[in-house]
Amino acid sequence: MTAEIISVGTEILLGQIVDTNASFLARTLADCGINLYFKSVVGDNPGRLASAVRLALSRSDLVILGGGLGPTRDDLTKETVADVLGIRLVNNDEAETRLRGFFKQRGIRLPEANLKQALVFEGGEVFQNANGTAPGVAVEKDGQWIVCLPGPPGELIPMVRDSLVPLLRRLTGPDGGILVSRTVKLAGIGESLVAERLSHLMDNSDPTVAPYAKGGEVHLRITTRATDEKEALPRLDGMDRQISDLLGEHIFGRDDETLESAVLDLCRRSGFSLAGAESCTGGEISRRLTSIPGSSDVFLGCAVTYANNAKTSLLGVRAETLAANGAVSEETAREMALGAKQLFSANTAYATTGIAGPGGGTEEKQVGLVYMAVAGPWGVSVSKARFRGGRETIRAHASQNTLYSLWTALRSLNQER
């Protein structure tokens, strides 16, 4: 079974909102073992929408439309689809009752225009909407299915889970199988080198392996089609093992694990606490670490010391160090990390100092120059890099590399034990 997604709405087409619905639908289809080959966006224009629907029906078994079920004159998805399919729209009593109840509960008069939201495809299925006023509608015509869902993610997502997925499971039947995936995550290595080292696995047909680069990491997605998770697991494990044998030293996690959660896990395993000192990254590393639920049992805090005075008064960086080497230097990074370790009474600490730009660079110390220090039972190690790109790119690279240095140091310690 092949599917296609059409997102409807001028505000999506013009980039005023990012289309998160389509990503969610794509993952849902994969979980149901349905192949997705095309996704498209059209504005609130009946003519162009009709041509997109006709094209989709010419090449896909299942067409899912999101958006355009609202009450305004611009919302014409159901009307357009009914027209293309040559079927009628009829009133759905339950949808109308819910619609009236929705407005009554809020003490608002029901605008006449909203009544069209209770119209559904004749002979089709209706997905009642627990979170809004527009029901979803679906219909089969000549063996093909068309589904129309409301645009707001807060309505679409629960409706997909509660109504669309059961329909899809019914359509694919017990024999269709599901796609099961695992993502193996690597850092400290580039995508092209990963692809080169694993080139013999990239052509594998089951499971398939696909690399993609994401924020200084390489993610390898292993996918297999199986009747259930139990059948899929040994295949995923086998491929995972082959990847680990070749590139194990770069693998910091799988699936929902992140570099920051991996760092926290290694600290936890060693009984270590962690603190930080950030200059050029401005709190980004601290933000990433504390984005992990439960980070408070390991992470004590961080001193964002933007001003030189703060580096001295909070972290104990010596005035002579700053005078002799400048704030962006190996020595300052070292003293910042040691200072943070002491300030928070932590077992391990990290520090960053650099020039994020666009101003502040000199010939000797150019924009993008960053020193990153990690302190712990191993002492202090400082790495230096010159990152390219704009301010946010440089800060993101510096954050990612600091977390990677921390992870490497903690893992070596763990392996020695």
Binding to its own copies in span 152-211, by CB under 8 A: 152, 154, 158, 190-193, 195-196, 202, 210-211
* Cα–Cα distance measured from residue 148 to residue 137, given in angstroms and rounded to the nearest whole number: 5
* Cα–Cα distance measured from residue 163 to residue 375, given in angstroms and rounded to the nearest whole number: 52
User: Contact between 392 and its own copies (CB under 8 A)?
Assistant: yes
The CB-based long-range contact list for 91-94 (8 Å cut-off, 24+ gap) reads 91/118, 91/119, 91/120, 92/118, 92/119, 92/120, 92/126, 92/135, 94/126, 94/128
For the CB of residue 132, give the shortest distance to its own copies in the complex, in Å: 9
Write out the binding residues for its own copies, residues 326-355 only, by CB under 8 A.
343-345
From the list 16, 93, 200, 245, which residue makes contact with its own copies (rule: CB under 8 A)?
16
For the CB of residue 417, give the shortest distance to its own copies in the complex, in Å: 26
* Cα–Cα distance measured from residue 178 to residue 175, given in angstroms and rounded to the nearest whole number: 9
Q: Which stretch binds its own copies (CB under 8 A): 79-87, 278-286, 370-378, 402-410?
A: 278-286
For the CB of residue 415, give the shortest distance to its own copies in the complex, in Å: 26
Q: At what angle do helices 165-172 and 20-31 cross, to 10 degrees?
A: 40
- Give the count of alpha carbons within 13 A of 69, CB side only: 30
Write out the binding residues for its own copies, residues 47-66 only, by CB under 8 A.
48, 52, 55
User: Contact between 226 and its own copies (CB under 8 A)?
Assistant: no
From the list 175, 293, 320, 415, which residue makes contact with its own copies (rule: CB under 8 A)?
293
Q: Given the complex with its own copies, which of 39 and 318 has the nearer CB atom?
A: 39
142 CB burial (10 A radius; 0-12, 13-18, 19+): exposed
Tokens 């292993």: give the residue.
222
Angle at 176 (CA atoms; ends 240, 24), nearest 5 degrees: 70
Q: Given the complex with its own copies, which of 176 and 283 has the nearer CB atom?
A: 283
From the list 90, 307, 319, 324, which residue makes contact with its own copies (rule: CB under 8 A)?
307
Bridge partners (DSSP) of residue 13 are none
For the CB of residue 245, give the shortest distance to its own copies in the complex, in Å: 21
Query: Does residue 386 sit in helix, strand or coil?
Result: strand
User: Contact between 129 and its own copies (CB under 8 A)?
Assistant: no
User: Contact between 395 and its own copies (CB under 8 A)?
Assistant: yes
For the CB of residue 103, give the shortest distance to its own copies in the complex, in Å: 10
User: Contact between 391 and its own copies (CB under 8 A)?
Assistant: yes
Draw the binding track, 244-263, toward its own copies (x: CB under 8 A; -: no contact).
Answer: --------------------
Query: Does residue 63 sit in helix, strand or coil?
Result: strand
The residue count for binding its own copies (CB under 8 A) is: 100
